[in-house]
A and B are shown apart, each in its own frame.
Chain A
Amino acid sequence: MLAVTQAAFYTRMVRGNMLEVQGEDYIRTARAKGLPERSVIRHALRSALTPVVTMYGLDLGILMGGAIITEAIFNIPGIGGLVVDAIQDANFPVIMGTTLVASFAVIAANLVVDIIYASLDPRVTYS
C-alpha cells in the first residue's frame, strides 16, 4: 500500500528520464541506422530504467520507516507495531532485535539492487 504512493513518483521519474534520453546521441545513432521506432524506444527505456533501480534501493529504507508509523496508526500487527510497543515499554532487547532485522533488510535490499544494477550497466564492475 505504501508502494502505491511511490509508484506515481517513479512514473514521473521514468518519464523524465525518457525525455532526457531521447536527446542522447546514441538514440540518434539508433534512428540513423534505420531502426524502427519500437526498437529505438527499447534502447531509450534501457537507459531510462536503470537509475530507477538505484532509487528503489534507497527508497526501501524509507518504506521500512513508513511501515512503523502506518502499522502503529492502523494497529496492524507487524514489525513496525512491535517496535512502537517495545519503545513504549522500554523493552530494549526487542528494540535492538527489530532494529537489527530492519537494518539487515535494508542492507540486503541494497545488495540486490547493486547486483541488478551491475547486470544492467556493463560499466559497473566489482573490484
Chain B
Amino acid sequence: MTGELLLEVKDLHVHFPTPDGVVKAVDGLSFKVHRGETFGIVGESGSGKSVTNLTALGLIDREKARVSGEVLFMGRDLLKLSAGELRKVRGKDLSMIFQDPFACLHPFYRVGDQIAEAILCHAEMDKRRVKARVIEMLDAVGIPNPESRYRDYPHQYSGGMRQRAMIAMALVHNPALVIADEPTTALDVTVQAQILELIDRIKKDFNIGVILITHDLGVVADVAQSVMVMYAGRGAELGARDRVFNQPLHPYSWGLLESIPQIDQKGTRLVPIEGAPPSLIHVPKGCPFHPRCPHRFEPCDKERPDLVDRGGGHPDACHLSIEDKKRLWDERESRRSKVIA
C-alpha cells in the first residue's frame, strides 16, 4: 500500500436485538484502508456493508444496537468518541456519499445552500467566500454553469448531477477518507460510469482514501485497488484487486465472479449462486456460506473459518486447502469458458 493508514476496523460486531432474535448484521469484521487507495467492499445486499460504515460514522442508533470492536480512524477509536466529538469528524475528515441521490438532498432547500451548510458547520467563513467555495466545488465535480446551478432545487437536477452535488458536499473540507455506499446503484449505466470516473479522479486529485461499497464486482474491478468480499457480516476474502480477480480463494467469490457478464469473452456462461443469502438471525454454524457451497466438506458446518492468510497469498476464510482452491477454481474457469455451440 502506498499511503498512510487511515482507517482500521478491528473485530467489529454490530448486533441488533429485535423481537424475532438478534440480527448479527456485522459479526467480527476487520480491515484497513490507506490514503490513496480505493477499497472496495463487495457482497450481496443484506451482507452488512452499510451497517459497517454507518456504525463507523455513528449514524446508527446506538441505543438499538450492541456494538463491539474498534474503528480506528487516524489513530482515534470512533466508537469511543462522544456524539459531539464524532460530529466534528463527520463531514470534515470522514465523509459519506449515499446510494440514492434522489432521496439524499432535502427537497425544500437549494442545492447550493445545502452544500454551504456543510461548509459552515465546520468552519466560520463570510457568506461570499462560502458561496465562492460552493461554486468552486460544483465546478470541480463537473456541474455545468455552477453559478446558476447554485440556486436550483434538487428536483431541477438530474440523478447524475445530484450525485455529483453529493460528492461536492462530501469534499468541501478536504476529508481524508470518503465512504461511498453504492453511489451508482440508483443511476443509469452511462451515468454510473461517469460517477465512478469522477470518484476515481477526486481520489487522485485530492489524494484521499475511498471506501467503495457495492454489490457489483464489475464496479470494483474498474476502480478499486483492494477488495474485501463480505458474506453474512464477515469477510470472506480480502486482497489486492488483481489477486482477488485472478486467483480468488473463496467459493463465494467464485460464485460472484461467475455471475458477472464478461463482454470480451464470448460464450462464457453466467452462473447464478445457488440458494439465498442466510438470515442474519440464524446464521449457519461454522462457515456461514456452507449451505450454499458446492465444495463443502466435514469442518465447514462445525468450525468457523477466520479471515487469515492460509497460504494463498492473501487472506481468505475457507477451510479448503490451498491446492484444492487452485484446482477447483481452474476447473470452474475452464468449464465456464467452454464456448456454448
Contacts and interface: CB of A to CB of B under 8 A. Distances in A.
A34 B98 contact: no
Interface in B70-106: 87-92, 95-96, 98, 100, 103-106
B107 A121 contact: yes
Contacts of A25: 98, 100, 103-104
Given A25-B98, A39-B121, A123-B155, A32 B106 contact: no
B105 A26 contact: yes
Interface string A20-41: 0000111011111111100100
A122 to B, nearest CB: 4
Contacts of B91: 32-35
Contact of B117 (A24, A35, A121, A123): A35
Contact of B92 (A34, A43, A46, A123): A34
A74 to B, nearest CB: 42
Contact of B103 (A26, A122, A123): A26
A62 B57 CA distance: 48
Of listed B87, B91, B106, B170, residue having the most chain A CB within 10 A: B106
Instruction: Point out which of A24, A29, A46 has the most chain B C-beta atoms below 10 A from its C-beta.
Output: A29
B59 A31 contact: yes
Given A33-B169, A34-B118, A34-B121, A28 B107 contact: no
A29 B90 contact: no
A121 B154 CA distance: 12
B243 interface: no
A47 interface: yes
Question: Most chain-B CB neighbours within 10 Å: which of A47, A50, A123?
Answer: A123
Interface of B: 57, 59, 87-92, 95-96, 98, 100, 103-109, 117-118, 121-122, 153, 155, 166, 169-170
Given A25-B100, A35-B91, A123-B155, 9 more contacts: A28-B59, A33-B118, A34-B89, A34-B92, A35-B121, A43-B109, A46-B108, A50-B108, A120-B108
Interface of A: 24-26, 28-36, 39, 43, 46-47, 50, 120-123
